[in-house]
Structure 1
Amino acid sequence: MALNSREHIIQQIRKALIHPSDPPKRVRSESLLTESPFVECEEDTAMRFAQRLLALQGKFVYAENLAELGDFLQQAAGTVHPSQIHCMEPSMQEILTRCNFAFAQSAPSHSSGASDEALRAMEIGITSCEALIAWSGSVMVSSRQNMGRTMTILPPV
């Protein structure tokens, strides 16, 4: 007589209860409990970040002081008028001011009623990041920052 699905499953459960099998043995290495899953980096993390960023065709500049940073920023900005260079973060504005780098003190924003054209007219947006990720050479920005990610998306530079 043919068993329906329910009866077949019940029969399999009865067999398993009559002839139980040993539970699988857990292999638990003590090293898994004491060692970190992260591989320690032998080299300086700043150097590793720079190398990975350069491998991704990113640009990395090291400045020993604010004067060097200001010189690099002037060179990078080229002929862009300071009114098209925007920075919204007070901490970054302070650094740029100390570097003698000219920029617009505020950027157009949706909250101030600026149009999409005004937002797209920005040539350069300067913002901080939340973290530099040495393992991949990535720069982490998020919506937690001032203006969210607008300053990293809309301006071409």
Structure 2
Amino acid sequence: MKENTTSKERLLKKIRKALLERRDNPYPNLEDLPLYPPATELPEVIFAEQFTAVAGQFVFCEDELQFIEILLNLAEEREWRKIYCWEPALQEIFKKYDYPFFETDKDFDKAEVGFTLCEALIARNGSILVSNANEAGRRLGIYPNVHVVVAYTSQLMMDLKDGFKLIKTKYGHNMPSLISTITGPSRTADIEKTLVLGAHGPKELFVFLLDG
């Protein structure tokens, strides 16, 4: 007598049978296989290309002095006045060169630019790996119209997995409760399929990469 079962029931029966049968992994070394061809450019070049491709603005600086010089010209050109920075390491640089900034959240609703550090830069997709473990939290990277990230070449990783390894080495068992990536300025195309920058966050995103 022919078995009267639906195709769905037959499929589920096969799945149950497969789950009951223990089998060796046919691809034990799958995770070790490279996902991408070997990089032919330096990570700095790859990151800059990918980051600018998503409307990010990239600046390479040889040292802190060049960083301040470029920042002075940029701030004058853009007429930045309300610049906020809550990262102690960045505050030390600004104070060293007498660069004016707000180190408290006074009049934060008028903030024009927020300066933050990051956990790593991911060259492969031009992304910034961030966490809530720094002093800036999330506000300085979301509220002001301009978000400026300061990073060092030692934080430049090729892939996300390398970035996560860097974070794990840094924090050990005290991992941040929030780890995320930023890829370009905030954007949306939900309204009539028109791309709008600054929809839910900064309209402009800068990365200053310092050698060191």
Per the normalisation by structure 2, the TM-score is: 0.50
Give the corresponding residue for 2:40: 42
Q: Is the 8 A contact 1:66 1:98 kept in 2?
A: no
Aligned residues: 127
Q: Give the drift of 1:63.
A: 1.3
Q: Which structure carries more strand by proportion? A: 2
Tell me which residue corresponds to 1:51.
Answer: 49
Please list, as runs of the form range in 1=range in 2, the aligned pairs for 1:86-125 lying within 5 A after superposition. 86-104=84-102, 106-108=103-105, 118-125=107-114
Q: Does 1:70 pair with 2:68?
A: yes
- Measure, in 1, the Cα distance between the counterparts of 2:22 and 2:111: 63
2:144 paired with 1:155: yes
Deviations 1:2-47 (A, max 9, x none): xxx9xxx9xxx9xxxxxxxxx79867357x2694444343322121
Query: For residue 44 of structure 2, what is the amino acid of its counterpart?
Result: A
SS at match of 1:129: coil
Q: Work out which structure has the larger RCO, using CA pairs closer than 8 Å and 6 or more positions apart in sequence.
A: 2
RMSD between aligned residues: 3.2
Q: Are the counterparts in 1 of residues 112 and 144 from structure 2 also a CA contact under 8 Å? A: yes
Rg larger in structure: 1
- Give the Cα–Cα distance (whole angstroms) in 2 for the partners of residues 50 and 24 of structure 1: 47
Answering whether residue 135 of structure 2 is matched by residue 146 of structure 1, we say yes
Q: CA shift at 1:131, angstroms?
A: 1.3
* Structure with greater helix percent: 1
1:80 maps to 80
Provide the C-alpha distance between the structure 2 equivalents of 1:47 and 1:124, rounded to a whole number of angstroms.
26
> Runs of 5+ in structure 1 lacking a partner?
14-22, 109-113
Displacement over 6 Å in runs of 4+: 23-27
- Please name the residue that 1:126 is paired with: 115
Residues 56-82 of structure 1: per-residue CA shift (max 9 Å, x gap): 12111111222221121112222333x
Please report the TM-score for the alignment, with normalisation by the length of structure 1. 0.66
1:77 counterpart letter in structure 2: A
Shift of 1:132: 0.8
CA contact (8 A) 1:69 1:99 kept: no
